Structure 1
Amino acid sequence: MSGPVMNNLSNIAKIILSAGLLTLMVACNPAPDGSVATDSEPPLAGAKIGGTFTLTNQDGGRTSDQQFKGKYRIMYFGYSYCPDVCPVDLANIMLGLKQAEKENPALIEKIQPIFISVDPGRDTPAVLKQYVPAFHPRLIGLTGSPEEIAEVAKKYLIIYDIRNDEGSSEYLVDHSRQAYLFGPDGEPLALLSFDGTPQQVAGEINRWVR
């Protein structure tokens, strides 16, 4: 890993730690369970996570964060070519969302699930259009230029590194694993435990979505 990349990852890691988050760089390997909040205030309340973005959706159109204003958002960063971690995480999170929606059908109108790729070179709109429906019918897949993805990843405290030193099309992407729950104004509320059961994910969703 090059010096500039290491310096950038180090700086972002310091920001994450200062926000009180636990993150793990992975090359699609398992990570420990996330903790479930027990306080009455959302655990990420006041954290400087998130911000504006405009990216390309799975239909080839442009999607802005402003289009989700008034809705809670579940956001997960990963990539479709991930051999194991990303699909397992997404499946768990989306099963939890489906469980929460089954328990409270009103949530269907309140929550928007979003998947943002950290592999824009391979995750074209056409690839995401095939990928995201496998997890949830309302899951939106977003990609963009490398510069756009780098900008949004920085705002959402996502660390990633594309391991493609030799220019091969077969490569892994090291990335931090976070499943965020944001409020209707884009404010960070909580981390969803992708390593927990779908029922645990549903419980966390039901706890903070009003």
Structure 2
Amino acid sequence: MPRRSVLLFAGACIAIAVALAAVTVVVVTGREQAAAVAEGTGTGQASVGGPFQLVNQDGQAVDQTLLNGKWSLVFFGFTYCPDFCPTTLQALEATKARLGAAADDLQIVFISVDPARDTPQALKDYLSSDGFPEGVIGLTGTDAQVKSAADAYRAFYQKVGTGPDYTMNHSLTVYLIGPDGRYRSALAHDLGPDRSAQLIQRVMARG
């Protein structure tokens, strides 16, 4: 092969290698950034949470003060949810198990985005199912009350379909709220019990 051709070939190989290296860096950096966001390692504090008026699974009127005095994991879902909601509840049970004694200061709050079907009794029956954590607080209310709570937490939900077989699209974020009722961090739904417990422990340590 002529010397010029060899040099051109070598230069092309180097260029390709550099391009591949650049792509690899972008992919890794993107993953690291996604992990950082999921673990709530940002320094800013989003405007999340606020007043709400709802009803618990015992039919009692409650407001945002039920979050005071304990750490809370708040998430939005509905009892007819086929996968994400039961999976999230099971994951939160596993997370609490990994927290040990710290779990005594942590409560789980499940807010329904389907008040038409999720009456207090429906919530009570659902949350007492085997495999779900004990002591989960289920909340529902009127359409307006649920919308107000979801807006406060910047939680998205939307009815899909008509008739009795409709479903609900909704955001999957779990919100970690401090004993003062203020937002501390967000847990991605796919973070997993181990990393979720580590995040909660870090945030609890900061107070």
**Aligned equivalents of 1:130, 1:44: Cα separation in 2:** 40
Give per-residue Cα distances to partners, 1:31-53, cap 9 Å, x unaligned.
x9762244xxxx47531110011
Confirm whether residue 86 of structure 1 aligns to residue 85 of structure 2.
Answer: yes
Confirm whether residue 107 of structure 1 aligns to residue 103 of structure 2.
Answer: yes
Alignment partner of 1:87: what SS? helix
Report the CA distance shift for 1:129/1:142 in structure 2 as closer, same or farther (over 3 A). same
**Contact conserved, 2:38 with 2:191, CA < 8 A, in 1?**
no
TM-score (norm 1): 0.74
Question: Which structure's CA Rg is the greater one?
Answer: 2
Give per-residue Cα distances to partners, 1:117-170, cap 9 Å, x unaligned.
000011111111012234211210000001100111011001111124x3x111
**Aligned equivalents of 1:158, 1:197: Cα separation in 2:** 20
Q: Which residue of 1 aligns with 2:58?
A: 59
Stretch moving more, 136-145 or 193-202: 193-202
Q: Which residue of 1 aligns with 2:191?
A: 196
Equivalenced residue count is 169
Q: Percent identity?
A: 36
Alignment match of 1:117 (pick from 112, 116, 121): 112
TM-score (norm 2): 0.75
Counterpart residue type for residue 143 of structure 1 = T
- Structure 1 stretches of 5 or more lacking a match? 1-31
**Contact conserved, 1:189 with 1:208, CA < 8 A, in 2?**
yes
Q: Which residue of 1 aligns with 2:68?
A: 69
Report the CA distance shift for 1:44/1:132 in structure 2 as closer, same or farther (over 3 A). farther
Q: Which residue of 1 aligns with 2:30?
A: none
Alignment partner of 1:189: what SS? strand
**Aligned equivalents of 2:170, 2:59: Cα separation in 1:** 25
Counterpart residue type for residue 148 of structure 1 = Q
Counterpart residue type for residue 91 of structure 1 = Q
Alignment match of 1:131 (pick from 126, 142, 146): 126
Counterpart residue type for residue 69 of structure 1 = N
Q: Which residue of 2 aligns with 1:3?
A: none
Stretch moving more, 186-195 or 141-150: 186-195
Counterpart residue type for residue 35 of structure 1 = A
Moved over 4 A (4+): none
Report the CA distance shift for 1:78/1:44 in structure 2 as closer, same or farther (over 3 A). farther
**Contact conserved, 1:93 with 1:192, CA < 8 A, in 2?**
no
**Aligned equivalents of 2:171, 2:72: Cα separation in 1:** 19
**Contact conserved, 2:40 with 2:187, CA < 8 A, in 1?**
no
Q: Which residue of 2 aligns with 1:35?
A: 38
- Structure 2 stretches of 5 or more lacking a match? 1-33
Report the CA distance shift for 1:133/1:209 in structure 2 as closer, same or farther (over 3 A). farther
**Aligned equivalents of 2:193, 2:66: Cα separation in 1:** 27
Per-residue deviation, 1:106: 4.2
Alignment partner of 1:120: what SS? coil
Q: Which residue of 1 aligns with 2:144?
A: 147
